[in-house]
Amino acid sequence: MDLTHPETASVVGENSTTLCRLCGNTELLSVLDLGATPPCEKFLSATELDDAEQTYPLHLRLCENCLLLQIPGLITPEETFVEYAYFSSYSTSWVEHARRFVDETSDRLSLDSSSFVVEVASNDGYLLQHAVARGIPCLGIEPSVNVGRAAVERGVPTLTAFLTESSAREVRAEHGPADLVVANNVYAHIPDLLGFTRALRVLLSDHGTLSIEVHHAMELVTHAQFDTIYHEHFQYYTVLAARNALATAGLQLTDVELLGTHGGSIRLWARPIEAGATPTAAVEEIIAAERAAGLHEPAGYLDLQSRSETVRQNLLSFLLDCKKDGKTVVGYGAPGKGNTLLNFCGIRPDLLAYTVDRNPYKHGKFTPGTRIPIHHPDRIAADRPDVILVLPWNLETEITAQLDYVHEWGGQIVYPLPTLHTSTPTQEH
């Protein structure tokens, strides 16, 4: 593996379809082609239904040199995130996950009123609100104007910006170096991987700590979670690939935790080389598990296409049977991953009459590409559909509990992944 020329890769990596954005290698192997789809957060208003809709290829490739999974940078984060529809606080379990993280990390790193915490892509303040509550000085860096405004309204200091080396230097000059930098569910979203990693290092004090949560490519590959691939996710990390990416900016991977969020994520802990930390045994253990799963060889990725197609065929067969039997089928949730699933499977309003979402921003809109209307969740109780297909399948426990009332009329709650299945009622009716 040759990672000795990151400065070369940073010049050629961005928006390239033929060069690995981590190592600059030209050998990119096709592992999953999902066709051409619109960006997954580009929900349509009723007045846009007669307009042309731009689609982009959604094609996952593997670098045969450094084993980073990636898609070409065809859309820029600026196009996606200036007006963004995703408010983290609409997921109850996600806010609780953030509270636990802040509590545990504050204790682990002895954070107090003399510390400084920065969160990159801080969304609506779902996480930093818990630092504010503990009296820990903090700053969110959030590019979406509308989402960042919601954070400020709940008392979380927020800078409207993308994290770049330049904005990182400005934050450091104004606030000083950070003791903790948090980057949750953003490390996949940046096409300039090398520049962004250097910016994380700029924010940190030499003795600081970086915490990153990102979906684990081992879960994506071993469970054919093809719907976690979308245009906004430019790369997909094994721990091995993440360790290599961090090292390009002088950051040492010191610990890894496996998390259940988003269908299987990793929390990476890293520190500047200057801190002289000793990595925990977990780092080598998880890298060994990735090796055992075949992920250190290109061959381990080659059946992702056929396994993803099996998920599609099973789901389509089920929906076509429902149609034939005269059952009403509606969706629950309108997440980004749902749009990859709906577009790849070719599911339109004939098979899924509508979906519902707790985020009022999406009400009255239509899913990109497949043009399925999105309503308020109350619509389910009013209509009493026979089948509810849950699109954010990674929140199965939480959503099955929320939807328990559908069993009153014999409604069936169905999840498409990891394999098509019906949830079990949590109580008798």
Q: Which residues bind Zn ion (CB under 5 A)?
A: 20, 22-23, 25, 63, 65-66, 68
Structure tokens at 222: 């071993």
Nearer to Zn ion, 20 or 220 (CB): 20
- What's the min distance (Å) between Cβ of 62 and Zn ion? 9
- What's the min distance (Å) between Cβ of 307 and Zn ion? 24
Nearer to Zn ion, 10 or 158 (CB): 10
Nearer to Zn ion, 210 or 245 (CB): 245
Nearer to Zn ion, 23 or 31 (CB): 23
Nearer to Zn ion, 22 or 200 (CB): 22
Nearer to Zn ion, 241 or 391 (CB): 241
Nearer to Zn ion, 8 or 397 (CB): 8
Distance CA 250, CA 235 (A): 20
- What's the min distance (Å) between Cβ of 288 and Zn ion? 21
> Which residue is listed with tokens 């879960």?
219
Nearer to Zn ion, 67 or 270 (CB): 67
CA atoms within 13 A on the CB side of 174: 10
Beta-carbon contacts of 156 under 8 Å, excluding residues fewer than 6 positions away, are: 122, 125, 128, 129, 132, 138, 140
Nearer to Zn ion, 23 or 347 (CB): 23
Structure tokens at 391: 């699109």
> Which residue is listed with tokens 């990153």?
212
Distance CA 71, CA 185 (A): 17
Structure tokens at 413: 């709650």
Order of strands across the sheet that contains 117-120: 158-160, 138-142, 117-120, 178-184, 204-215, 265-272, 251-259
Find the radius of gyration of the CA atoms of the chain. 22
Residue-by-residue DSSP string for 162-221: ---HHHHHHHHHHH--EEEEEEES-TTS-S-HHHHHHHHHHHEEEEEEEEEEEEBHHHHH
> Which residue is listed with tokens 């900016």?
249
Residue type, 155: G
Distance CA 243, CA 232 (A): 22
Structure tokens at 285: 């253990």
Distance CA 60, CA 37 (A): 13
Nearer to Zn ion, 291 or 371 (CB): 291
Structure tokens at 226: 């093809």
The CA-atom distances, in angstroms, between 324 and each of 313, 315, 317, 329, 351 are 16, 14, 10, 12, 10
Structure tokens at 264: 């299987």
- What's the min distance (Å) between Cβ of 241 and Zn ion? 8
Distance CA 301, CA 221 (A): 7
Structure tokens at 78: 């600026």
- What's the min distance (Å) between Cβ of 17 and Zn ion? 14
Nearest to 332 by CA among 317, 324, 342, 320: 342
- What's the min distance (Å) between Cβ of 187 and Zn ion? 16
- What's the min distance (Å) between Cβ of 282 and Zn ion? 25
- What's the min distance (Å) between Cβ of 6 and Zn ion? 11
- What's the min distance (Å) between Cβ of 335 and Zn ion? 29
- What's the min distance (Å) between Cβ of 26 and Zn ion? 9
Nearer to Zn ion, 5 or 421 (CB): 5
> Which residue is listed with tokens 């709940």?
154
- What's the min distance (Å) between Cβ of 20 and Zn ion? 3
